A and B are shown apart, each in its own frame.
Chain A
Amino acid sequence: MAIDTKKCVGCSDCVVACQTENNVPHGYCRDWIVENVSGTYPVVEMEFRSERCNHCDNAPCVRCCPTGASHIAEGGIVLVTHDECIGCGACIESCPYDARYPHPDGYVDKCTFCIHRVEKGQNPACVDVCPTHCLHFGDLEDPNSDVSLAMKDRKWRVLAPEAGTKPQLYFLM
């Protein structure tokens, strides 16, 4: 997924759409907005980032999971099989993005890129609801996918690349 930080206005629509689409329990969220302000008046810069699980290529949560509940599904989406999760918290400790949380029902929960929608050829709920169209989803290996086209002529960065997880959320700058 690519997030256009120049277009994001921090409205939190993606957060609400996710909570509604995925029945996220009250007080929890699978995605969130970070507001970054830097500089000194009058030279001040503000950046909004819609963040969620980075669906890392080298996912530490998958590596640390003692039961195999955390796994990488075909296509690269990192998922948790609820019936295999013992709720030990190892994956939560291992995530440099703090993208996971213990669901009140016991298992560990996180962003699934709305895999139930993606399987039907639809976008994740956050992508479809975004009023500024700042979220771009798709297959990075397909040069004509929405995400590939969005990244084509833009500078981008990922969060905490030094953690070595090969994150798959690209922030366009």
Chain B
Amino acid sequence: MKEEIFASGRHIPHIDPYLNIWHWPIALYLFLGGLAAGILFFAGYFVVKGKEKEMPATVKWAPIIAPIALVIGLLALFYDLHHKLYFWQLYTTIRFTSPMSWGAWTLMAITPLSFVWVASYMKEMFPGWDWKLKILDRFEAWVIENRVPFAWIMMVLSIILGVYTGILLSAFNARPLWNTSILGPLFLTSGLSTGLAAILWISKNEHERKTISRIDLVLILVELFFIVHLFMGFLAGTAVKNEAAALFLGGEFTVTFWVFVVILGLVFPATLEAMELRGFHVPAWLPPLLILFGGLVFRFVMVDAGQITRFLY
């Protein structure tokens, strides 16, 4: 036999018996951050490509979600801090070794940018919109004039944001489930895919829907490939990595992950999207809803399961 116990007793809140320091706000934020990154990336992308007119939902309407998602995400992050009144300390320094530090700065840049982006389309979306102040009119004119450079900056920042939602977790070598370099690309892909799902939900334009569906199909396939890759890495890894994989291969997260994330959140909506592209009638809200739900569950599963995996005891 081999047994290890805390002889002095130890039951520290949030630490024992399993680490549980990050709760739903972190998972929710990772989802909303990825969603906003996806929406803003494609809004920027189609402006850079000069397809603004063909993709109205992508460029104008869906981005309304981004600032809302980012603000809710930021509030969730703030809510999760234990020493809330000191949050401003984040913005007194940049620490390049800490993903949370440059993530906080990225958010500081992309959140106002998402507001500016939406504001610059207000007059097009709501005819008769009046900014009331001259200076705002002038600012709007300046943004509209420089829309392409803005789109480029937004694309770069949204990629950083999307990757950051994964790297935030993968930087912790103490949590074997998170500590894999595939997590950054995986979270980015998932974020882009949930962004496309939101666009697809909003779009009424046949051509736009088809374009978005096609990109989404590719992203879902890439995501599935990354997931396979993730588990291949775990199973070929050290004991702690094997244990991390075991949580999903027979362990307590098996059903949640494979049924809700992989099948209902990726495979099934991808099949529906493919059928729609072939001319079958599919309820327009169903694939996006499934993808968004799968993406949300994925973040919750990763945040919860990662904290269970460890080196000792």
Contact = CB atoms under 8 A, between A and B. Distances in A.
A29 B9 CA distance: 9
Given A27-B13, A37-B1, A68 B313 contact: no
B86 A83 contact: yes
16 contacts: A34-B313, A35-B5, A38-B3, A63-B97, A66-B104, A67-B92, A86-B81, A86-B86, A86-B90, A88-B80, A92-B15, A94-B171, A106-B85, A159-B312, A163-B174, A163-B311
Given A93-B174, A93-B307, A66 B95 contact: yes
Interface in B79-129: 80-87, 89-90, 92-93, 95, 97-101, 104
Contacts of B4: 34-37
Interface string A23-49: 000011100111111111000000010
Contacts of B21: 89, 92-93, 102
B10 interface: yes
A28 B84 contact: no
A109 to B, nearest CB: 10
Interface of A: 10, 12, 15, 27-29, 32-40, 48, 60, 63-69, 83-90, 92-98, 100-102, 105-108, 159-160, 162-164
A65 B313 CA distance: 25
B300 to A, nearest CB: 16
Interface string B1-43: 1111111111111111001011000000000000000000000
Given A10-B7, A86-B89, A101 B15 contact: yes
Given A66-B98, A88-B100, A101-B15, A29 B84 contact: no
B7 A48 contact: yes
B98 A63 contact: yes
Nearest to A30: B12
Contact of B22 (A38, A89, A164): A89
Task: Name the prevailing secondary structure of the B interface residues.
Answer: loop
Contact of A39 (B1, B7, B15, B87): B1
B59 to A, nearest CB: 33
B173 interface: yes
Given A83-B89, A96-B173, A96-B311, 13 more contacts: A29-B8, A64-B171, A67-B89, A86-B81, A90-B98, A93-B22, A96-B312, A98-B310, A101-B13, A102-B14, A159-B312, A160-B312, A164-B173
A66 B95 CA distance: 6
A103 to B, nearest CB: 8
B225 interface: no
B91 to A, nearest CB: 9
A83 B83 CA distance: 9
B311 A66 contact: no
Contact of A32 (B10, B86, B98): B10
Given A60-B174, A89-B80, A34 B7 contact: yes
Interface in B151-210: 171-175
Interface of B: 1-16, 19, 21-22, 80-87, 89-90, 92-93, 95, 97-101, 104, 171-175, 238, 307, 310-313
B2 A38 contact: yes
Given A37-B1, A37-B2, A37-B3, A28 B12 contact: yes
B83 A86 contact: yes
A130 to B, nearest CB: 13
Given A48-B7, A96-B310, A108 B175 contact: no
**Which residue among A39, A66, A98, A108 has the maximum number of chain B CB atoms within 10 Å of its CB?**
A66
B160 to A, nearest CB: 15
Nearest to B101: A66
Contacts of B171: 63-64, 94
A10 B6 CA distance: 10
Contact of B6 (A34, A37, A65, A162): A34
B7 A89 contact: no
Nearest to A62: B97
Contacts of A107: 82-83, 86
Contacts of B311: 96, 160, 162-163
A159 B311 CA distance: 9
Nearest to B240: A162
Contacts of B89: 67, 69, 83-86
